[in-house]
Amino acid sequence: MPNIKKENDLYIPSGDLQEKAWQNDKAIYQKASDDPIKFWEELAKELFWFKGWEETFKAQNESLNSQPYFEWFKGGKINITSNIFEKNPLGFDKIKNKIAFTWIGEPTEEKPRTFTYEELFREVNRFANALKNLGVKKGDRVAIYLPVIPEVIIAMLATARIGAVHSVVFSAFSSAALQARLQDAQAKILITADGYYRRGKVINLKQSADEGIKETEVEKIIVVKRAGNEIAFQPSQDLWWHELTEKESPECAPEIMDSEDLFFILYTSGSTGKPKGTIHACGGYAVQAKFTGKWIFDWKENDIFWSTADIGWITGHTYSCYSPLLNAATFIIFEGSIDWPNPERWASIIEQYKVSIFYTAPTAIRMFEKYGADLIKGYKFETLRLLGSVGEPIDNGAWQWYFQEVGHGNCPIVDTWWQTETGGILISSLPGIGPFKPSFTGVPFPGIKFDILDEAGKSVQANKEGNLVILSPFNPGLLRGIYKNPEKYFDTYWSKYGKNVYFTSDSAFKDENGLIRIVGRVDDVLKVAGHRFTTGELENIICLHPDFIEAAVVGKADEIKGEVPIVFAVSLVDKGLDDLKKGVVDQIRKEIGPIASPQAVYIVEDLPKTRSGKIMRRILKKILTGEDLGDLSTLANPQIVEKIQEIVQADIKNEA
Ligand code: PRX
């Protein structure tokens, strides 16, 4: 019997998958919405707490200015690693011999590394003891700048074990991006690797780490020997991971944390060029991570889950680390590019490792699609039973391709909406309940109250677009602040509709069945291959370069990456156009990394501006798409528009 059936434009779970799913009764939605606080409280009780909480949910009084504006399970004492290991509610004895994860390196000839729950626990404790011996204490920030290797998970869990705060920095970020994050978090310890493999090349990560720690408070660098490449090693500052942990005891008592204690910081793009550190709390994050993963990915005893996201992003934190581990699930982590050394590497991993649940981003799906279905003809994908998508809207075409060519028409697709800020998935139909509709993310997770508001704060009708917001009591894993920047926290999330309404900065609409479709961001965030950048951040970075006095960045639709940045820069320097363009690209690569590289750079005399000096990015966008520019009479410099149009058109002609 098929696992999914089609009814009009909806796909409904059926058969075995529906019957055996952790959640297959619609009544859960009513129950949760009748009393969301009680709903989360009951779930929280399924975790291990050293001491119960005093108040399940506390909303701050609107007149109070103290942050955060809400709290969950306050007074409850917890450690997430105890819930994964020794106090796992499933019984540690029952899970200790189960495989937690298998790591696959990029070189195809390399042997995978596998950790059972017990082996992982021992390694976590060893490293936790090593950190303690270096003087790391509860609340201290530990920066982790590692590729996807087992040590990234061990380092995160060890930090959590001793109550320190991890700040993981994506390994493809440049040294300048690392430096900004180290400075903000005031980390004294940095964990990195000698190098790692990327598309067949060894990347010297230690070199970036050495540059990144300049003018920071970092005292010690712990280095994992991964690629064996030659590195600069300063014995007074650098420590090899293997030497450090060798003699440590495999036992380490957990630090007892308050539910609202700071758990981790994860930086995301900020509009001024300075990254903002979203902060997450111990208890609420654990509860939400556990149950969103359990119900949305429906992990069972024999499932093998693979999420292709890097652990340096929130998707990796929650669904390649904490959530599957809290559920004693088995998963895969992969160091390399999913299309290297051949475009079907991802398919061969699914087949070889018997992946049953596959989670990736629309950009990857569109890339698979471009390579063509012929390429994967030889793959049967018989083990797959559930597919997932994350990070950006998935269009109907990519959805259908994923559904037919990878899922063979028999796997539901959970299109999961969430943000670095939300800590875990908040919108996705559940695989045992549905319904699924291509290009719609689905219905909110039980217990989460969303609304779609107009500018005045009024709910809009079905099929009308508006601002997506989360209503009280929000979700237990929602961020509790921006590290050391209370104004930004307030301004970004709580100023538009008041402190009882979390503003997501996404635009969305609901259909008549209550399914939500995400339209896109309403702020200056670009989603480039699912990665998040702000146009303001890129503009600031360009203007830090002495050759440029002004810049405007706009997003342009891209067939594969969803969106790509296009730069318009003004320079007064007498240099060749190619040199100037290269200057912009190099500057972005230096300050952020290659993932933010613009697709095109236009050197222009001036930017279209209003009389008050506001740059009209809207007009630049229209120039790129060839749309009618409308009325330009409000511009202070309408003559510049034609000149920019000529530059862009010449470039397009050249390309063709
Ligand atoms: O615009 C939404 C988009 O990604 C934003 C959050 O980005 P980030 O913090 O990098 O987290 C991405 C991974 C959780 C959102 O505001 N987004 C995320 N998931 C989806 C999505 N847009 C459409 N559909 C999704 N499933």
Q: Of ligand 1's atoms, which has the minimum distance to the CA of residue 520?
A: 1
What is the spatial distance between Cα 386 and Cα 382, in angstroms, rounded to a whole number? 11
User: What integer pLDDT is reported at residue 292 of this predicted model?
Assistant: 98
User: What integer pLDDT is reported at residue 63 of this predicted model?
Assistant: 58
In the reported structure, the alpha carbon of residue 532 is separated from the centroid of ligand 1 by a whole-number distance in angstroms of: 9
C-alpha distances (whole Å) from 160 to each of 77, 152, 248 are 14, 12, 17
User: What integer pLDDT is reported at residue 134 of this predicted model?
Assistant: 98
Q: Rounded to the nearest 10 degrees, what angle do helices 27-34 and 36-44 cross at?
A: 110
Best mutation site among 268, 311, 313, 417 for ligand 1 pocket (most ligand atoms within 8 Å of CB): 417
* DSSP string covering 339-404: TSSSTTHHHHHHHHTT-SEEEE-HHHHHHHHHH-GGGGTT---TT--EEEEESSPPPHHHHHHIII
Tokens (6 digits) for 336: 């390399």
- Whether 270 has a pLDDT exceeding 80, the answer reads no
What is the spatial distance between Cα 599 and Cα 618, in angstroms, rounded to a whole number? 18
Tokens (6 digits) for 580: 């100037």
Task: State pLDDT tens for residues 359-374.
Answer: 999 999 999 999 999 9
Best mutation site among 296, 526, 527 for ligand 1 pocket (most ligand atoms within 8 Å of CB): 527
**127, 155 contact by CB (below 8 A):** yes
Share of the chain above pLDDT 90, in %: 95
**445, 468 contact by CB (below 8 A):** no
- Whether 25 has a pLDDT exceeding 90, the answer reads yes
In the reported structure, the alpha carbon of residue 561 is separated from the centroid of ligand 1 by a whole-number distance in angstroms of: 14
Best mutation site among 414, 518, 523, 561 for ligand 1 pocket (most ligand atoms within 8 Å of CB): 518
3-state secondary structure of 566: strand
Best mutation site among 365, 523, 532, 595 for ligand 1 pocket (most ligand atoms within 8 Å of CB): 532
Task: State pLDDT tens for residues 392-431.
Answer: 999 999 999 999 999 999 999 999 999 999 999 999 999 9
User: What integer pLDDT is reported at residue 2 of this predicted model?
Assistant: 87
**Residue 1's pLDDT band (boundaries 50, 70, 90)?**
confident
* DSSP string covering 485-509: -HHHHIIIIISSS-TTEEEEEEEEE
Strand partners of residue 103: 113, 333
Burial (CB count <10 Å: 0-12, 13-18, 19+), residue 558: middle
**455, 41 contact by CB (below 8 A):** no
**Residue 656's pLDDT band (boundaries 50, 70, 90)?**
confident
What is the spatial distance between Cα 630 and Cα 211, in angstroms, rounded to a whole number? 48
Tokens (6 digits) for 268: 């995301």
| Element counts in the chain: helices (H) and strands (E) | 21, 32
Q: Of ligand 1's atoms, which has the minimum distance to the CA of residue 415?
A: 26
- Whether 236 has a pLDDT exceeding 70, the answer reads yes
User: Taking the model in full, what pTM does it have?
Assistant: 0.96
- Whether 60 has a pLDDT exceeding 80, the answer reads no
**Residue 64's pLDDT band (boundaries 50, 70, 90)?**
low
User: What integer pLDDT is reported at residue 462 of this predicted model?
Assistant: 95
Residue whose CA is at the smallest distance from ligand 1 atom 13: 391
In the reported structure, the alpha carbon of residue 293 is separated from the centroid of ligand 1 by a whole-number distance in angstroms of: 17
- Whether 62 has a pLDDT exceeding 70, the answer reads no
Helices within 35-96 (DSSP H only): 36-44, 80-84, 92-95
In the reported structure, the alpha carbon of residue 578 is separated from the centroid of ligand 1 by a whole-number distance in angstroms of: 35
* Vertex 419: Cα angle to 441 and 40 (nearest 5): 80
Domains of the chain in sequence order: 527-655 (3.30.300.30)
In the reported structure, the alpha carbon of residue 391 is separated from the centroid of ligand 1 by a whole-number distance in angstroms of: 4
User: What integer pLDDT is reported at residue 338 of this predicted model?
Assistant: 96
Tokens 């859960």: give the residue.
28
C-alpha distances (whole Å) from 406 to each of 304, 309, 343 are 16, 18, 14
What is the spatial distance between Cα 146 and Cα 292, in angstroms, rounded to a whole number? 26
| Lowest-pLDDT choice from 164-168, 186-190, 419-423, 614-618 | 614-618
Lining ligand 1 with CB less than 6 A are 268, 314-315, 390-393, 415-420, 441, 504, 506, 518, 521, 527, 532
**Residue 114's pLDDT band (boundaries 50, 70, 90)?**
very high
Q: Of ligand 1's atoms, which has the minimum distance to the CA of residue 425?
A: 14
